[in-house]
Amino acid sequence: MIYEFRTYDLKPRTLGQYEEIAGKAVNGGRLGLSKLFGYWYSEFGPLNQALHVWPYESIEQRFAIREEAGNLDTWPPATGDLLNGQDADILYAAPFNDESISGEHGPFYEMRIYRYGTGDIPKVIDAWSKAIDERRKHSTFIGAWHTELGTLNKWVHIWAYSSLEERSRVRAEMIERKIWPAPGGPPPLHQESRLFLPFPFSPLS
């Protein structure tokens, strides 16, 4: 599976307009072509961002569906005037992801973006594979992905929490009990964290 992460930078004070337009467009035929994984907006980290994630079986399917989507009257959403910029990343799913995850797990979704040294991603996958079953008992693991195109050696993972208090408690407990970060994995060269909330039309809410 590949996942397309599309991050849009919105002009300040346009989030409500964007939500209305994008919601109608998502439900106006686009979901009949392929699955939407999640659709969120930023609360902490870079503000005024919308993140939508689309899974595909292959890069070829992604191109075919996007071409088909361009024939819809409702897609792409008419949000161009609300945007300051757009980014798209193609990420490959970790082997231990639950590809069927959906439903209400938040409302707080933390996306952590790590960059590793050359050749480290297989070591990260190995370390996480040994530790993830215990870690996911304590908060909802949404998924982890890595890059093969664009910026290399990037590792992205998303976790869901019912509150910020739960996030702080779980993270402190995992460190204290040495459950997490995954033991034996290489240290990242760079880390960043962004906190998102779901749009009403997001499959993950």
CATH number at residue 96: 3.30.70.100
Quote the pTM value. 0.95
- Length of the chain counted residue by residue: 205
Q: What is the pLDDT of residues 125-177, one digit of tens each?
A: 999 999 999 999 999 999 999 998 788 999 999 999 999 999 999 999 999 99
Domains: count for the chain:
1
Distance (Å, rounded) from C-alpha 133 to C-alpha 85?
37
In a domain, 204, yes or no: no
Q: Residue 81's pLDDT is what?
A: 97
In the predicted structure, residue 55 carries a pLDDT above the cut 90: yes
Q: Which domain holds residue 53?
A: 2-198
Burial group, residue 179, by CB count within 10 angstroms (0-12, 13-18, 19+): middle
In tens, the pLDDT along 70-95 reads 999 999 999 999 999 999 999 999 99
